[in-house]
Amino acid sequence: MKIRSVQAIPLSIPFEVRSRLPAWRGKDFGALEILLVRIETEDGCVGWGEAFSYACQVPVKAAIEQMIAPLLIGQDARRITGLMHDVQKVLHIYGRYGVVNFALSGVDIALWDMAGRRAGLSLVELLGGANASTIDAYASLFRFDDPDRVAEAARAAVSAGYKSMKVHTRGSVDVGAVRGVVGSEIPLMVDTNCHWTPAEASRLAHALKAYDIRWLEEPIYPPESFDALRDLRQESGIPIAIGENACTVHEFQKILAAGAATYVQPSVAKVGGITEFRKVAALTEAYGASLAPHSTYFGPGFLATLHLIAAQPAAPRMSIEHFVVGPEASLYGGALDVQDGAFALPPGPGLGLQPDGDVLRDYRVKPA
């Protein structure tokens, strides 16, 4: 069961949604950047993972292949939590947040996928069993900063069967436009991606109250402003959601101890993988907060999130984030399509599905 190889496979899959916003992180944001991790053992068992890699594919790939792979080759693939602890400990000097942790996350997901395949059990069965066989999805809408276009996207999401949705915006106008289109029954979330100062957040949170939002996500920059987030949560009365950029359970401990979050949002391809996500889920339960995973993924990261949600006792009341951008190809063909606003848990071993070889070939990023 010794690990023979750890590979990172970069893909770029164009999507159809476009905004007129300036380039994102210095690039035109018009394609899904997916970094798959493929781990194989000496006896031929394979597991697939995914590391967050938007606008950072080259450094995350290097971290997987040059920093983590040498620590894993020859190790027993079945000792996942111990291996992840050891690798985190060795690599802590390179930062506990960002590129190295994204890389660790992809490796961890691949090891869990492999463990399920070896056992003949799905991931959710390994995690204690499914509490739901389908998981509702909320439509996570692209940021347009254009009330007409976001209203059009919201209308399309309702037609497609989504029962709740999230608006990415920096103001309240887009939210009003969406509420006007979807009516009062559809739960709405608002995400600024850490944009406002505490004073701006206070002013805009009060403006958003008119639209009855379920949560306000990452309202304040910098993201570590836990005391300001707690104050905003208490003063505005609006539930606050944060955590997609937090890595390891230790950062979540600070968030929860500060009372900064109503909804806690670990991102499986950033936080440290399935191993670390489970710790965050347990801590969230202990603090009495709600879990609302971040999952703007389309590969193993999305599958892992589906299984992790299904493993929660609260699964029937939870939903998975689905980024509605219309990719031109799917790693899983039609096996992972949203149906009436929900995703069915794939029943196969491990994550339940394997990447399509044609998509891996056709959308693989060529070395520079």
Q: Which stretch binds Mg ion (CB under 5 A): 61-69, 87-95, 154-162, 187-195?
A: 187-195
**Residue count at the site for Mg ion (CB under 5 A)?**
1
Nearer to Mg ion, 33 or 191 (CB): 191
CB 25 within 8 A of CB 123: no
Q: Where are the beta strands (DSSP E) in the chain?
A: 3-14, 31-41, 46-51, 134-141, 165-168, 188-191, 213-217, 240-242, 263-264, 290-291, 319-324, 342-344
Tell me the torsion sign for CA atoms 304, 306, 309, 311. Answer: negative
For residue 191, the minimal CB distance to Mg ion (Å) is 4
- The answer to whether 108 contacts Mg ion (rule: CB under 5 A) is no
Render 212-240 in DSSP notation, one character per residue.
-EEEEES-BSSTT-HHHHHHHHHHH---E
Kindly give the interhelix angle for 173-182 and 147-159, rounded to the nearest 10 degrees: 30
CB of 241 to Mg ion, least distance (A): 8
The stretch near Mg ion (CB under 5 A) out of 18-26, 172-180, 186-194, 224-232 is 186-194
Closest approach, Cβ 265 to Mg ion, in A, equals 7
Q: How far is the C-alpha of 134 from the C-alpha of 316, rounded, in Å? A: 8
Among 108, 113, 191, 251, binds Mg ion (CB under 5 A): 191
Residue 244 Cβ, how far from Mg ion at the closest point, in Å? 5
Residue nearest to Mg ion as judged by C-beta position:
191
Stretch binding Mg ion (CB under 5 A), from 36-44, 59-67, 189-197, 311-319: 189-197
Give the residue with the Cβ less far from Mg ion, 50 or 191.
Answer: 191
Query: Does residue 33 contact residue 55 with C-beta atoms inside 8 Å?
Result: yes
Note the residues at the interface with Mg ion (CB under 5 A).
191
